């Protein structure tokens, strides 16, 4: 995972490349576990003994957003004397490019970096004790961050509230209840939430923080007690005070660890090299897996809660080869002549056969995005009744929020592109997936659609395809269907299904294909006339003056009548192609007499 190193403040900083599924390595605790496994070192977790908490002082914390909250632990500490951070803490944060604020705030950042789990501290003199984890239900609610930036909260934004309103968001603290040098009492909390909800809120609010980047990963709720105890211990040692509440622990649904059956000898078949079974067994134990022997070299492995990325047998195999060493994979040995079992899914062979057939019939394959604009949802197929579109959360492009329900929509859009660039009508097809939902269930299917401008030939091509793939025709063709038949490919068989009739309203006139050798350029021109004239007549007139050799398109973009002179101003916009900009400008000025 190493990506380099640098010298900073008399320290050597090692850069690590952390993958999306390794949230455990976003803290020193997880990195230490990784090093202990790699170098067979003993991993020691220091025991922290805190004073006994009061028996009759419960924290009046409430969790309303239960589905979004995995675990919360909290304590109240009173009689604190806050101040500037000790030098070791200031240096530690500076190495991580985090500004030092004060001891209490800096210690929460220290724990976040140490364990990879964010934590908060609330000044009870400002927030009170009755903190509530909930989703925002108020319209136009404004939240002020620690740097006094005002953020307008959307509906259902995940926040921590007190009697005065939002005290914090789960990924960033608030200005109203922030810790300062006058803080005497705090509630400290460490929590893990639904990572999808944190990511969605961060994107909607356009808020990016160190805490948010960690809460978006799969974190270990079972590590929270260690982190909270460590934070309380550091506060008591550096700021004084005493614990003045019982430990609050909200953990309603602990997730059971996965149970993975694995044969140690099968690891060699997957990796392709001989790894001793004893080595694999040692690695699993060093990772923290619980092993139960089921038979010779057969084990039931239960990964540690810290490693949320270990869920399958293949994950354990990956760990084995990673610690065994990729460099030990030989590069000078012949490939085994043993014939391997064909594991290619039948649907892929079927798709290949369909593509080969259509290409041999003169069709061109297109490939398009499976996401479309909402205005293209009218291009639907005859899917089961009451089928609904599937909308995408966290979409990379807000203009394309929905998954297509038909391949037809892709072909229609491709035809429009061809028409735009004056490409003659041609035969096209696409094989891809369609998506829809019905009765709360989501469906994803392979499909193929093809377009042929000649309906009779389209019928014959369909018949040939059906005959080749042994498909029985269930429905009659419709003369009005521009995109005719739609074939739906399932994993075990083929079934024919018609589209709702779609008529392609394209101009049948097609010229030769045009190759663009230079960028299209456009110029505007204003023409003043004494009276109003039909715009189409004016466009035809100036098209003749310009000529068709270099003119791509001519349009009138604005018509304006001067209220004083009563004269009309027509604004033309002309597009020129395959011509240099100076020459296009010369033709333009001459045609509109602007020289």
Looking up residue 551, the CATH number of its domain turns out to be 3.30.70.380
Do 231 and 91 lie in a common domain?
A: yes
Do 159 and 214 lie in a common domain?
A: yes
Do 310 and 416 lie in a common domain?
A: no
Do 555 and 458 lie in a common domain?
A: no
Give residue-wise pLDDT tens across range 195-212.
999 999 999 999 989 999
Count helices and strands in the chain by DSSP H and E runs:
15, 27
For residue 456, is pLDDT > 50?
A: yes
User: Which of 465, 498, 531 marks a domain boundary?
Assistant: 498
Distance CA 347, CA 355 (A): 12
**Position with higher pLDDT, 50 vs 378:** 50
Q: Is residue 569 part of a domain?
A: yes
Distance CA 163, CA 241 (A): 25
Do 542 and 480 lie in a common domain?
A: no
Q: Please give the backbone phi and psi of residue 444, each rounded to the nearest 5 degrees, phi first.
A: -135, 120
Average pLDDT for 255-270: 92
CA dihedral 17, 20, 25, 30 (to 10 degrees): -150
Give residue-wise pLDDT tens across range 64-114.
999 999 999 999 999 999 999 999 999 999 999 999 999 999 999 999 999
For residue 19, is pLDDT > 50?
A: yes
Do 142 and 88 lie in a common domain?
A: yes
Do 432 and 459 lie in a common domain?
A: yes
Identify the domain containing residue 361 by its residue range.
346-498
For residue 15, is pLDDT > 50?
A: yes
> Which residues 6+ apart lie within 8 Å of 326 measured at CB?
none
Q: Is residue 579 part of a domain?
A: yes
Domain count, the chain: 4
Do 184 and 242 lie in a common domain?
A: yes
Q: What is residue 486's predicted lDDT score, i.e. its pLDDT? A: 41
Do 401 and 474 lie in a common domain?
A: yes
Do 391 and 456 lie in a common domain?
A: yes
Distance CA 399, CA 585 (A): 35
Do 76 and 180 lie in a common domain?
A: yes
Q: How confident is the model at residue 517 (pLDDT cuts 50, 70, 90)?
A: low
Do 209 and 297 lie in a common domain?
A: no
SS3 452: coil
Q: How confident is the model at residue 384 (pLDDT cuts 50, 70, 90)?
A: low
- Read off the CATH number of the domain in which 215 is found: 3.50.40.10
Q: What is residue 349's predicted lDDT score, i.e. its pLDDT? A: 76
Q: Is residue 34 part of a domain?
A: no
Distance CA 419, CA 423 (A): 6
Strands 298-302 and 290-295: antiparallel
Q: Is residue 28 part of a domain?
A: no
């Amino acid at each position: 995972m190493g990506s380099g190193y640098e010298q900073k403040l008399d320290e050597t900083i090692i850069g690590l490349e952390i993958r999306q599924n390794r949230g455990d390595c976003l803290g020193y605790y997880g990195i230490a576990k990784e090093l202990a496994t790699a170098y067979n070192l003993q991993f020691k977790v220091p025991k922290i003994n805190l004073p006994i908490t009061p028996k009759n002082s419960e924290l009046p914390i409430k969790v309303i957003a239960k589905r979004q909250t995995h675990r919360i632990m909290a304590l109240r500490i009173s009689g604190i004397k806050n101040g500037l951070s000790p030098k070791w803490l200031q240096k530690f944060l500076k190495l991580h490019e985090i500004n030092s604020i004060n001891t209490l705030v800096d210690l929460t950042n220290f724990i976040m970096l140490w364990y990879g789990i964010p934590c908060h501290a609330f000044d009870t003199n400002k927030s009170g004790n009755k903190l509530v984890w909930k989703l925002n239900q108020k319209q136009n609610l404004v939240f002020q961050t620690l740097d006094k930036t005002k953020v307008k909260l959307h509906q259902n934004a995940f926040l921590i509230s007190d009697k005065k309103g939002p005290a914090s968001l789960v990924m960033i603290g608030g200005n109203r209840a922030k810790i300062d040098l006058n803080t005497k009492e705090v509630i400290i909390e460490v929590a893990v939430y639904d990572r999808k909800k944190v990511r969605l809120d961060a994107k909607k609010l356009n808020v990016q923080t160190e805490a948010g980047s960690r809460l978006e990963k799969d974190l270990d709720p079972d590590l929270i007690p260690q982190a909270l105890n460590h934070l309380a211990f550091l506060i008591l040692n550096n700021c004084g005070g005493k614990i003045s509440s019982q430990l609050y622990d909200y953990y309603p649904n602990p997730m059971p660890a996965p149970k993975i059956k694995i044969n140690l000898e099968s690891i060699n078949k997957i990796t392709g090299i001989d790894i001793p079974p004893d080595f694999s067994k040692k690695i699993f134990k060093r990772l923290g897996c619980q092993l139960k022997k089921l038979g010779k070299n057969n084990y039931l492995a239960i990964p540690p809660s810290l490693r949320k990325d270990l869920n399958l047998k293949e994950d354990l195999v990956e760990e084995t080869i990673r610690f065994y060493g990729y460099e030990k994979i030989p590069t000078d040995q012949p490939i085994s002549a043993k014939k391997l079992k064909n594991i290619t899914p039948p649907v892929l062979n079927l798709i290949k056969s369909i593509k080969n057939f259509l290409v041999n019939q003169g069709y061109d394959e297109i490939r398009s995005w499976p996401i479309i604009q909402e205005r293209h949802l009218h291009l639907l197929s005859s899917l089961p009744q009451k089928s609904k579109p599937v909308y995408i959360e966290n979409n990379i492009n807000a203009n394309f929020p929905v998954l297509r329900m038909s391949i037809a929509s892709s072909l229609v859009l491709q035809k429009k592109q061809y028409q735009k660039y004056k490409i003659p009508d041609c035969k096209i097809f696409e094989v891809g997936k369609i998506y829809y939902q019905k009765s709360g269930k989501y469906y994803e299917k392979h499909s193929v659609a093809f377009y042929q401008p000649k309906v009779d030939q389209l019928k014959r091509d369909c018949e040939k395809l059906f005959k080749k793939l042994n498909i029985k025709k269930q429905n009659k063709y419709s003369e009005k269907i521009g995109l005719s038949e739609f074939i739906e490919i399932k994993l075990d068989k083929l079934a024919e299904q018609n589209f709702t009739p779609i008529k392609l309203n394209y101009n049948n006139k097609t010229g030769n294909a045009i190759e663009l050798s230079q960028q299209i350029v456009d110029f505007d021109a204003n023409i003043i006339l004494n009276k109003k004239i039909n715009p189409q007549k004016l466009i035809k007139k100036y098209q003749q003056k310009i000529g068709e050799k270099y003119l791509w398109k001519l349009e009138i973009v604005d018509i304006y009548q001067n209220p004083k002179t009563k004269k009309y101003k027509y604004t033309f916009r002309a597009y020129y192609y395959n011509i240099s900009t100076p020459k296009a400008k010369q033709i333009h000025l001459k045609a509109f007499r602007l020289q």
